[in-house]
Amino acid sequence: MMEDTGPVVAFWILAAITVGSALMVVAVRNLVHAVVYLILSFVGIGGLYITLSADFVAVTQILIYAGAISVLLLFAIVLTPRGSRDNAESFLRLPAVLVALLVGITLGYVALDTDWSIAGRGGFEETASEIGELLLDKYVLPFEIASVLLLVAMMGAIVIVRPEGTMEPVDPSTRLRTGFAQDGEAEA
């Protein structure tokens, strides 16, 4: 196992950053600040991946979660300017606390109580090339399905957010009211 104190110190600092900023996402009142704390939490999880010697996953985590998905979240906030900006709870607050405590305690108890078959083999040397081989050999079918899924999700997102006026011509009487008058809508 890990004898030197470096990884231990790194784990505790990163775990404190991750859990602390996840709790700040709950506590902070401004929605944009909540997204910023979420990014900090994602970065902390990326650091935890490094302490687990998962280099490729760590880089992917920083690129996709801390980079792309958090920018998507910020875009969603920016694109809904008259929505509420506070990070308030709905009427489900008390049941949510109960469910979260129940799930957390159950998962923690299972994690501590189970006798995991620990392999004392130490960390991985490097993972990227072997992950690439696995993706194109053992997991080639899920890999292809994932590419189709990404394509479908991209097309779906574009079709959903496209303003109604730029769609294929439809019967104007069946058109949903969107609250946004498109250019040329009056003539149509």
Q: Does 67 bind another protein (CB under 8 A)?
A: no
Contact 31, 86 (CB under 8 A): yes
- Tell me which residue of 110, 10, 113 sits closest to 52, measured CA to CA: 10
Using CB under 8 A, pick the residue from 169, 180, 181, 184 that binds another protein: 180
Contact 14, 44 (CB under 8 A): yes
What does each C-alpha distance from 126 to 3, 50, 59, 118, 130 come to in angstroms? 21, 11, 13, 20, 8
Closer of 63 and 188 to another protein (Cβ) = 63
Rounded-to-integer distance, Cα 66 and Cα 45, Å:
10
Binding mask 24-63 for another protein (x = CB under 8 A): -xx----x--xx--x--xx--x--xx-xxxx-xx--xx--
Q: Which residues pair with 18 in a beta bridge?
A: none
Using CB under 8 A, pick the residue from 13, 30, 80, 170 that binds another protein: 80
Closer of 154 and 188 to another protein (Cβ) = 154
Using CB under 8 A, pick the residue from 118, 141, 181, 186 that binds another protein: 118
Q: Does 178 bind another protein (CB under 8 A)?
A: yes
Contact 61, 49 (CB under 8 A): yes
Q: Does 188 bind another protein (CB under 8 A)?
A: no
Using CB under 8 A, pick the residue from 62, 77, 165, 185 that binds another protein: 77
